[in-house]
């Protein structure tokens, strides 16, 4: 298996994988979405909530807020040596605000120095005059399989496209049609020839094949080569997620081998 990075922007990583199989790709996809430990608010103690949203809804919204944390410093609550929760398995927060006005995720105060709120502008609730909210919250580390608020990334993969163009077979009109009909702008006409600008953009929709009545252009897929996308939906960056995924997959494989004796 060989990886080659295509690009990375706004927490979205794309790379090409050579010599692999859909089974392997799916294992990476599922582990990167389901099995990576991520910190999120789990327990909320409401002291006062006179806002329009019910306590449960406020707690559910708090849980979904992405938190910045150091994955090396946190253990899962069940695996921690302590019994009642300590700094190694829990992070505490407080929130106190009086109306009128909106309550944002930026109003939450973290009690530990190395845990922060990733986005300050997430609206939690809205307070009218004489309404107030006061609460304490505890965040724990868990995995996406347990609850989707702990999901680290959104991952997907597709076969690598193979686009064959027969220049002789296509008329000039058909070439122009191909450029126009392609929703991902894969083609361009240059010097009377239909050229492929970037085959990695192709999503194998085959609009171009249909447009030319199925001759002159063929779109097939390389079944051992993939384009893989990882988009982070937590504070972890996609490369770290991929590294952690490999580590977890390795651990799981070791476990199976161990059981086989």
Partner 1 sequence: MIIPVRCISCGKPVGHLWEEYKERTEDGEDSGEVLDDLGLDRYCCRSLFLTHTDLIHRAAKFKK
Number of Cβ within 10 Å of residue 22's Cβ equals 13
Q: Which is nearer to partner 1, 25 or 59 (CB)?
A: 59
| DSSP class of 209 | H
By the rule CB under 8 A, 51 interacts with partner 1: yes
Tell the residue number behind the tokens 């995720």, with chain if given.
105
Smallest gap from Cβ 144 to partner 1, in A, equals: 9
Q: Which of 64, 167, 210, 220 binds partner 1 (CB under 8 A)?
A: 64
Smallest gap from Cβ 154 to partner 1, in A, equals: 6
Spacing of C-alpha 175 from chain mean position: 37
Number of Cβ within 10 Å of residue 184's Cβ equals 14
Pick out residues in 132-191 that bind partner 1 (CB under 8 A): 148-149, 151, 154
Backbone angles phi, psi at 149, to 5 degrees: -70, -20
Smallest gap from Cβ 121 to partner 1, in A, equals: 4
Q: Which of 66, 161, 216, 238 binds partner 1 (CB under 8 A)?
A: 66
Closest CA to 42 of 68, 62, 22, 66: 62
Residues 6 or more apart in contact with residue 235 via CB below 8 angstroms? 66, 67, 68, 69, 118
Smallest gap from Cβ 24 to partner 1, in A, equals: 23
Smallest gap from Cβ 233 to partner 1, in A, equals: 5
Smallest gap from Cβ 214 to partner 1, in A, equals: 29
Instruction: Identify which range of 74-82, 124-132, 194-202, 204-212 contacts partner 1 by CB under 8 A.
Output: 124-132
Q: Which of 19, 84, 113, 130 binds partner 1 (CB under 8 A)?
A: 130
Q: Which is nearer to partner 1, 24 or 154 (CB)?
A: 154
By the rule CB under 8 A, 53 interacts with partner 1: yes
Number of Cβ within 10 Å of residue 185's Cβ equals 12
Closest CA to 219 of 231, 206, 207, 228: 206
| CA–CA dist 170, 173 (Å, integer) | 8
Pick out residues in 72-101 that bind partner 1 (CB under 8 A): none
By the rule CB under 8 A, 121 interacts with partner 1: yes
**Alpha carbon of 137 to those of 63, 70, 103, 229: distances in Å?**
9, 19, 15, 33
| Contact residues for partner 1, defined by CB under 8 A | 10, 50-53, 61, 64-66, 105, 118-123, 125-128, 130-131, 148-149, 151, 154, 231, 233
């Amino acid at each position: 298996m060989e990886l080659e990075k295509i690009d990375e922007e706004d927490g979205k990583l794309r790379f090409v994988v050579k010599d692999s199989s859909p089974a392997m790709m799916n294992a990476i996809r599922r582990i990167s979405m389901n099995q990576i430990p991520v910190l999120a608010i789990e327990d909320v103690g409401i002291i006062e909530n006179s806002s329009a949203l019910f306590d449960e809804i406020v707690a559910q919204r708090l849980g979904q807020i992405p938190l910045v944390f150091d994955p090396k410093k946190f253990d899962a609550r069940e695996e921690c040596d302590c019994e009642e929760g300590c700094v190694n398995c829990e992070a505490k927060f407080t929130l106190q605000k009086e109306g009128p006005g909106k309550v944002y995720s930026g109003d939450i105060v973290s009690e530990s120095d190395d845990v922060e709120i990733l986005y300050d502008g997430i609206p939690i609730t809205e307070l009218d005059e004489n309404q107030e909210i006061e609460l304490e919250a505890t965040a724990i580390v868990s995995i996406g399989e347990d609850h989707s608020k702990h999901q680290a990334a959104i991952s997907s993969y597709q076969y690598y496209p193979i686009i064959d163009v027969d220049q002789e077979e296509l008329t000039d009109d058909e070439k122009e049609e191909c450029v126009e009909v392609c929703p991902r702008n894969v083609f361009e006409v240059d010097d009377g020839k239909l050229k492929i600008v970037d085959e990695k953009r192709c999503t194998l929709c085959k609009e171009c094949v249909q447009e030319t009545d199925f001759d002159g252009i063929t779109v097939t897929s390389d079944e051992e080569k993939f384009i893989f996308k990882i988009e982070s939906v937590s504070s972890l960056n996609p490369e770290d997620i991929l590294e952690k995924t490999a580590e977890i997959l390795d651990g799981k494989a070791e476990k199976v081998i161990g059981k086989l004796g």
